[in-house]
Amino acid sequence: MNEELRNKLEYAHRILHMEGLAEDASRGHITARSEDGRVYIKPWGVGFEDVTAQEFQGLDLDMNLLEGEGRVHSELHLHVEIYRRRPEVHSIAHVHPFYSILLSSVFKGKIHVLSQHGVHFAGKIPFHQSAELVTSKKLGEKLARILGDRPVVVMKNHGITVVGKSIEEAVILSMHFEKAAKDHLLATTFGKPSGIPVAMAKKLSVNNYNPAQVKMMWDYYCKKFDRKES
Amino acid sequence: MNEELRNKLEYAHRILHMEGLAEDASRGHITARSEDGRVYIKPWGVGFEDVTAQEFQGLDLDMNLLEGEGRVHSELHLHVEIYRRRPEVHSIAHVHPFYSILLSSVFKGKIHVLSQHGVHFAGKIPFHQSAELVTSKKLGEKLARILGDRPVVVMKNHGITVVGKSIEEAVILSMHFEKAAKDHLLATTFGKPSGIPVAMAKKLSVNNYNPAQVKMMWDYYCKKFDRKES
Amino acid sequence: MNEELRNKLEYAHRILHMEGLAEDASRGHITARSEDGRVYIKPWGVGFEDVTAQEFQGLDLDMNLLEGEGRVHSELHLHVEIYRRRPEVHSIAHVHPFYSILLSSVFKGKIHVLSQHGVHFAGKIPFHQSAELVTSKKLGEKLARILGDRPVVVMKNHGITVVGKSIEEAVILSMHFEKAAKDHLLATTFGKPSGIPVAMAKKLSVNNYNPAQVKMMWDYYCKKFDRKES
Amino acid sequence: MNEELRNKLEYAHRILHMEGLAEDASRGHITARSEDGRVYIKPWGVGFEDVTAQEFQGLDLDMNLLEGEGRVHSELHLHVEIYRRRPEVHSIAHVHPFYSILLSSVFKGKIHVLSQHGVHFAGKIPFHQSAELVTSKKLGEKLARILGDRPVVVMKNHGITVVGKSIEEAVILSMHFEKAAKDHLLATTFGKPSGIPVAMAKKLSVNNYNPAQVKMMWDYYCKKFDRKES
């Protein structure tokens, strides 16, 4: 079922791996919610660079396994509790990117928006202040509450969780947040950085993530991956 | 028309991509002006690593499309307003390189000239203090005025625009500015850097960018690209 | 003899090389102790990316060569003196990774545990404060005493020595320590980092290095190496 | 003539290019002096990754071209004036490596010896405080006087010149100096680094650069290059 979503979800894992957001064995997971309300996730122990479209497990929001097999990631709670509260969200990426994690260790609730990569993250950013894995319904609920209606939550000494209206958006926002975190951290070692004001950032964000732009960026990364493999 | 220019412009995109100045989907554009006064630019949505010689659009300075097809980059204004004011300029690169953008967030109007890469940028460097895209004639005119008669303008939280007498020069100066920005920023974290005095920098610059040197460097990067592809 | 161990030890060298912990000619060595009490080590002068399973030398704890040929690494003393004191240890990696060495030059006995990579190294970390090579029984005994019952000893201006119950564990802990050192050092340039408290780190460590996790991570790196080579 | 030296000199250029010490068009040059007193250098405009054994030019110390053709590097003065004063020197590398250049902009005459890579450079390091190219006999003499009897001279905002008893030694010392410069610079951003004392560094240096070690390291890099090419 949901073949198109499965294919797209495979590309999502390949792209985040190619771009260095899931480089080693502590990899995280990307999920997608289908039109018929199922959540798809890769089985535990399968890498971002290995998982294939047909392997994704399909579950309902109560984590009953309806499609696929294998051990289920214990952090699936993180995903279902967000899907429950955010009907417009159709994809969630939970990853442990290098600069995002360093940011989380010195985080004060905001980043300097220093380039186009940060415009979607202007203003206050939710912060989950524990490194504990999100392996229970209760912890999933807590994370979902902290996230609220925002696109990303920074998880202290752990990583990030990024949500999108589509797989494409969740993947692109994940990459952009990691780039924005790197910009922010390095710039602070170079001086007192001056960023894009919140009002202009919001205006640029509307333009940068309109459907045509998101499709253009997604196609770019799919093509880059295909070229690398050939 | 203008086959030789088109071929060179294809290499220009490939080289800046290979050297990491156009690594992701937020790519910028390089244009060239032909002897017959046409401006050539890649179509919107086509990547630096994909665009081919025959795809470039040819337009006049009023942005009438004379050759080619597809959506035109809305920032073409940036190019035509510079070409209008700088008859000696035959190529312009507008890119968003990592260190140049970080520099723009802490910029104070000058860089320490710490190696050969910076000698052409000694002294005051024009600074455009807005992250807004240059998508109107008015904004294009403003940027061109700020650039004045200089080789580069730093665009806050956005990137750089670099001009050259030829495609070769615009490409090489773009790479050198990014390297000079990196030198400048990192050196400030290592101590109080001492650079090349302006007078000596100007003297070195004359030597480094004479026609034989520019040709040697351009040939080097073309060869490097060809080797990588084979 | 001990074919399985030899094959695993070959992968161990390949993996640490692939991951950048043994990049140049100053390479270090990984040893393993077999069930019958022999210590296996690569011959002097053979690289991490070259050594093959059948080349490993087998020695007893008094460094008598029982299997193989070639010059024996003079730092074997470091390994045998640890094996003598730590019956549960079956593998030791002595390497010179970039960030671990920089850490050793500014080390104050602890690291901030900023991500999952550091949880096994929470609390006080043994520190060997001399750059001298460990080329005698006396120096080996000294290092073993400093290590005590811990997983890693930081060696000033020199590198690290990491021990594991298995080859898999020694290899994975070596990579994780280097990542943890990088996290720690970079974060200190970005602000005042806040890490995982010792009690939670210990809890996470138990989970992260249980046999299923260690096997999953080891299989991941073996697969990554095989894919790279094919 | 001097076929063996020519072949070795080709590897020397390939190795420094592979290791990132001659990455772009501003490349420098490595020379060797044969037993019959000729100095071999690549022709101007030929890259480190392209030059072949038969292309090297052979000149006497007065810069008369005896073998080969093409334009001669104007900085050959730098080499001949050192060869004149240092009979034991048989190879000189003049390169512009990234960290060495940054070091030159904040240099105070010494580096912290933070790893094995720096042991040969303990104590006072000669410093040439001008970015001017060494394109005359007079400037070559000045540089040679500043170098004195040492292995390396740091050239402000320019690069380094490294000398060796053999091609192998000049190449390996060049790589080690760049690594030592990187160690030194980064460590200063991480805290107050403590390095290897001069007396121990000198002792380690004697061991690290004995003929067997130099041959082992050289063979390692030749093998690495051959593997990369195959």
In this complex, which of C26, C50, C105 lies closest to D187 when CB atoms are compared? C105
pLDDT, tens digit (0-9, with 9 covering 90-100), for B131-145: 888 999 999 999 999
Judged by CB atoms closer than 8 Å, whether chains meet at A105 and C194 is answered as yes
Structure tokens at A66: 């309806």
Distance from CA of B192 to the nearest CA of D (A): 6
Distance from CA of C97 to the nearest CA of D (A): 10
pLDDT, tens digit (0-9, with 9 covering 90-100), for D53-104: 999 999 999 999 999 999 999 999 999 999 999 999 999 999 999 999 999 9
Judged by CB atoms closer than 8 Å, whether chains meet at C223 and A50 is answered as yes
pLDDT, tens digit (0-9, with 9 covering 90-100), for C54-82: 999 999 999 999 999 999 999 999 999 99
Closest C-alpha to B184, from C191, B192, D186: B192
pLDDT, tens digit (0-9, with 9 covering 90-100), for D129-140: 998 889 999 999
Residues in chain B: 230
Distance, in Å, from the CA atom of A86 to the CA atom of B8, rounded to the nearest integer, reads 50
Which pLDDT score is estimated for A117? 96
Task: Determine the 3-state secondary structure of B34 from DSSP.
Answer: coil
Q: Is B177 on the interface with D (CB under 8 A)?
A: no
Strands D127-128 and D152-155: parallel
Structure tokens at B170: 């615009």
In this complex, which of B49, B105, B189 lies closest to A193 when CB atoms are compared? B105
Structure tokens at C31: 């040893």
User: What ipTM did this prediction achieve?
Assistant: 0.94
Which pLDDT score is estimated for C64? 97
Mean pLDDT for chain D? 96
pLDDT, tens digit (0-9, with 9 covering 90-100), for D148-184: 999 999 999 999 999 999 999 999 999 999 999 999 9
Structure tokens at B211: 């026609």
Q: Measure the CA angle with vertex B65, ends B59 and B68; round to 5°.
A: 95
Q: Is C156 on the interface with D (CB under 8 A)?
A: yes
pLDDT 10s per residue in chain A (230 long)?
799 999 999 999 999 999 999 977 767 999 999 999 999 999 998 989 999 999 999 999 999 999 999 999 999 999 999 999 999 999 999 999 999 999 999 999 999 999 999 999 999 999 999 988 899 999 999 999 999 999 999 999 999 999 999 999 999 999 999 999 999 999 999 999 999 999 999 999 999 999 999 999 999 999 999 999 88
For A31, the enclosing helix (H) or strand (E) is strand A29-33
Judged by CB atoms closer than 8 Å, whether chains meet at B131 and A189 is answered as no
DSSP string computed for C146-183: HHTTSSEEEETTTEEEEEESSHHHHHHHHHHHHHHHHH
Task: Determine the 3-state secondary structure of C161 from DSSP.
Answer: strand
Place of tokens 């894992």: A13
Contact between C47 and C95 under an 8 Å Cβ cutoff? The reply is: no
Judged by CB atoms closer than 8 Å, whether chains meet at B112 and D106 is answered as no
DSSP bridge partners of A152: A162
Structure tokens at A170: 């969740």
Chains that touch A (3 or more CB pairs under 8 A): B, C
Place of tokens 């696929």: A68
Suggest the residue from C18, C111, C115, C216 to mutate for an interface test with chain A (most A CBs closer than 10 A): C115
Judged by CB atoms closer than 8 Å, whether chains meet at B105 and A112 is answered as yes
Residues from chain C contacting residue D116 (CB–CB below 8 Å): 26, 96, 131, 158
Which pLDDT score is estimated for D26? 65
The b-or-e profile of B79-100 (16+ CB within 10 A means b, else e) is bbbbbeebeebbbbbbbbbbbb
- Surface of D (88-117) touching C: CB under 8 A: 112-117
Q: Is C20 on the interface with A (CB under 8 A)?
A: no
3-state secondary structure A33-75: ECCCCCEEECCCCCCCCCCCHHHCEEECCCCCEEECCCCCCCC
In this complex, which of A25, A26, A105 lies closest to C195 when CB atoms are compared? A105
Strands A65-67 and A91-95: unpaired
DSSP C160: E
Residues from chain C contacting residue D117 (CB–CB below 8 Å): 26
In this complex, which of D183, D192, D217 lies closest to C25 when CB atoms are compared? D217
Task: Determine the 3-state secondary structure of D172 from DSSP.
Answer: helix
Judged by CB atoms closer than 8 Å, whether chains meet at C191 and A189 is answered as no
Q: Is D228 on the interface with B (CB under 8 A)?
A: no
Residues from chain C contacting residue A50 (CB–CB below 8 Å): 223
Distance from CA of B212 to the nearest CA of A (A): 35
Distance from CA of B112 to the nearest CA of A (A): 13
Residue D221 has pLDDT above 80, yes or no: yes
Mean pLDDT of B177-193: 97
CB atoms within 10 A of CB D197: 14
Residues from chain D contacting residue B190 (CB–CB below 8 Å): 102-103, 105-106, 185, 188-189
pTM above 0.90, yes or no: yes
**How buried is A181 (Cβ within 10 angstroms: 0-12 exposed, 13-18 middle, 19+ buried)?**
buried
Closest C-alpha to C173, from C128, C130, C125, C140: C125
Which pLDDT score is estimated for C26? 65
Residue B65 has pLDDT above 80, yes or no: yes
Strands B127-128 and C29-33: unpaired
Mean pLDDT for chain C? 96
